[in-house]
Amino acid sequence: MRYATVRAPGGGSLAVFFDKGAWRSLEDRSGRLYPHLRAFLADGGSRRAGRAVIEEHEAAFLAPVPRPPKIVAVGLNYADHAEEQGKSPPESPMLFSKASNIVVGPDDIVKIPPTAGQIDFECELGVIVGKPGFEIPAAKWAEHVFGFTIVNDVTSREAQTADRQFYRGKSFDTFCPTGPVVVTPDEFDWNGKGLGLRLNGTAMQKGSTSRMCFGPPALIEWISAIHPLEPGDLIATGTPAGVLMFRPEKRFLQPGDETEAWIEGIGELRNRFEKR
Ligand code: ZN
């Protein structure tokens, strides 16, 4: 099943699911529409057959979960990305967080801040939590995952390097494009999916989720052992090789650049970069 948050025909936004060739509204018991998927998930996330609101080709996608309760990200989670920086993959997941109010959607502008440079991209498989849980065993991961989306974990390498920790470099406003849709685990086998990123049409990253050091089951167990997971939480599961930081040309993102992050079975997430 595919879900999304789309621009509503009359303004505002709507949580929808795809069925029989159209995007249909998700409705609560009294027929009220959910404005986005976080509201739907917070209410238990049980699907209600709604009206066909938008034709397949007319949907304007927004960030599926506009403001996740938490964004937990995983560093060095692909063997090839660890290799390109001369590091060995960690023995346990290496976590950091991004601010949760910086999420943007497909086609939104990512703003290059005045105070930090060396802006880089990271195409990642995003996991969106559905059912809440604490100390979830890996074997039960799928019960707690609502679905998968694309995340571009935009980063200021300048800030990341200067601070020797990740929060500032990863948390500038708009540094978390997500979308366009969420695909549920029954329709998306996370293992062995191609993923990558194009910069102004040129392939920069290309990898496979089968090269993840810790997949979603292990990550759900590891992260939920720290704190409870809540509906709408976003886990950015790490990026494959090919980021700008480790390329010989050391060219970083500039105003006017366009990134296109893609994951096989989910789609493409396009964003343009401009000065804040
Ligand atoms: Zn990342």
Q: What is the DSSP string of 34-66?
A: PSSHHHHHHTT-------EEEEGGG--EE-SSS
pLDDT band for position 45 (50/70/90)? Answer: confident
Residues 178, 49: one domain? no
Distance (angstroms) between ligand 1 centre and the Cα of 152 equals 8
Q: Which two tokens stand for residue 214?
A: 């810790």
Is the pLDDT at 151 greater than 80? The verdict is yes
Residues 11, 99: one domain? no
Residues 20, 139: one domain? no
Residue 239, pLDDT score: 97
Residues 145, 257: one domain? yes
pTM over 0.85: yes
Q: Which two tokens stand for residue 12?
A: 């505002």
Residues 77, 209: one domain? yes
Residues 58, 172: one domain? no
**CATH number of 146's domain:** 3.90.850.10
Residue 87, pLDDT score: 87
Distance (angstroms) between ligand 1 centre and the Cα of 88 equals 16
Residues 189, 159: one domain? yes
Residue 137, pLDDT score: 98
First to last CA, the chain: 37
Domain with 19, as residue range(s), is 2-62
Q: CA-to-CA distance for 50 and 28, rounded, in angstroms?
A: 9
Residue that wins the pLDDT comparison between 127 and 48: 127
Residue 133, pLDDT score: 98
Q: How many domains does the chain have?
A: 2
Is the pLDDT at 119 greater than 80? The verdict is yes
Residue 160, pLDDT score: 96
Q: Which tens digits make up the pLDDT trace of 177-234?
A: 999 999 999 999 999 999 999 999 999 999 999 999 999 999 999 999 999 999 999 9
39 forms beta bridges with none
Residues 42, 95: one domain? no
Q: CA-to-CA distance for 218 and 161, rounded, in angstroms?
A: 28
Q: Calculate ∠ Cα 71-76-79, nearest 5°.
A: 135
Distance (angstroms) between ligand 1 centre and the Cα of 123 equals 7
Distance (angstroms) between ligand 1 centre and the Cα of 10 equals 36
Residues 7, 83: one domain? no
Q: Which of 62, 79, 110 is the last residue of a domain?
A: 62
